[in-house]
Structure 1
Amino acid sequence: MKKDIEIPKVEGVYVAIVNEYNAIYKTQDWNAYIINDNDADLEMVIIVTDGYSESKITSKFRKKVEVLPKKSYAKIEMIQEELFTLNNQFKVTYFKDNTMFDKVYTFKKNTINLEALQAVPLMEARGVVAK
């Protein structure tokens, strides 16, 4: 039965960790975003995140976005810098045109840092992008 389920390749959907100024607390924060660079809306987006290493594992964080409009993005969560020493994983499942898509985005340990910042699709910001 599993062999009959086809999950197509994910394209145009990214997870980015962005370094941003927080005007309320006057701090530089790291925030995770889901980005939809497609020409169609994403529906029922489910994101499950966690961090892990050989000796540590974080609790799971779950986020649901009912609709992520085409050419837009949504904040997933703020990430503390202490977690950058772990592998950070984002499991994303969504529907587009009544078809289910699923992909795991992984930021390897110590790859999220100021030297790795690059332009983020659709956002006027710089961050680390997992494709």
Structure 2
Amino acid sequence: MKKDIEIPKVEGVYIAVVNEYNDVYKSEDWNAYIINEKETDLEMVIIVSEGYSETKKTAVFRKRIDKLPAKSYAKIELMQEDLFKLNNSFKVSFFEGDAMLDKTYIFRKNTINLKALRPIPLMDVKGVLVK
């Protein structure tokens, strides 16, 4: 029976952590974004994030996005640099058409830093991306 269950693979949806200037507070901030590079809209997107290590664990953060249009992105949360010492997990669930899909994106500890910045699709900025 288990072999008959088809679990669709999530492609074209990414999580990026971007270093950007905050005009209001005149500071460099790190923000997490979800990116939909698909040709279809994502409905009822639920994101559950947390940081963890062998000895520490952060509070769980939840975010809902009713609709993430095709070829777009949305800010998830501001991230403090202290979190980069931990593994950071983003569990993403969403509907695409009639199917519910989910995927867990993990930024391993110390992988988010200025030296790791790369171009981010759709955003025209540099950041750290997990596919």
In the superposition, the TM-score normalised over structure 2's length comes to: 0.96
Structure-2 residue corresponding to 1:122: 122
Q: Distance in 1 between matches of 2:4 and 2:56?
A: 36
Q: Distance in 2 between matches of 1:7 and 1:50?
A: 25
Q: Distance in 1 between matches of 2:30 and 2:67?
A: 24
CA RMSD across the alignment: 1.3
Q: Distance in 2 between matches of 1:96 and 1:5?
A: 18
Q: Distance in 2 between matches of 1:50 and 1:96?
A: 24
Alignment partner of 1:54: what SS?
coil
1:26 to partner: Cα distance: 0.4
The C-alpha deviation readout for 1:47-85, integer Å capped at 9, x for no partner, is 000000000000100000000000000000000000000
Structure-2 residue corresponding to 1:60: 60
Contact 1:117 1:126 in 2 (8 A): yes
| Aligned-residue identity in percent | 66
Structure 1 unpaired stretches of 5+: none
Q: Distance in 1 between matches of 2:77 and 2:120?
A: 17
Q: Distance in 2 between matches of 1:42 and 1:100?
A: 10
* Number of residue pairs aligned between Structure 1 and Structure 2: 131
Q: Does 1:94 align with 2:89?
A: no
In the superposition, the TM-score normalised over structure 1's length comes to: 0.96
Q: Distance in 2 between matches of 1:93 and 1:6?
A: 16
Amino acid at match of 1:40: T
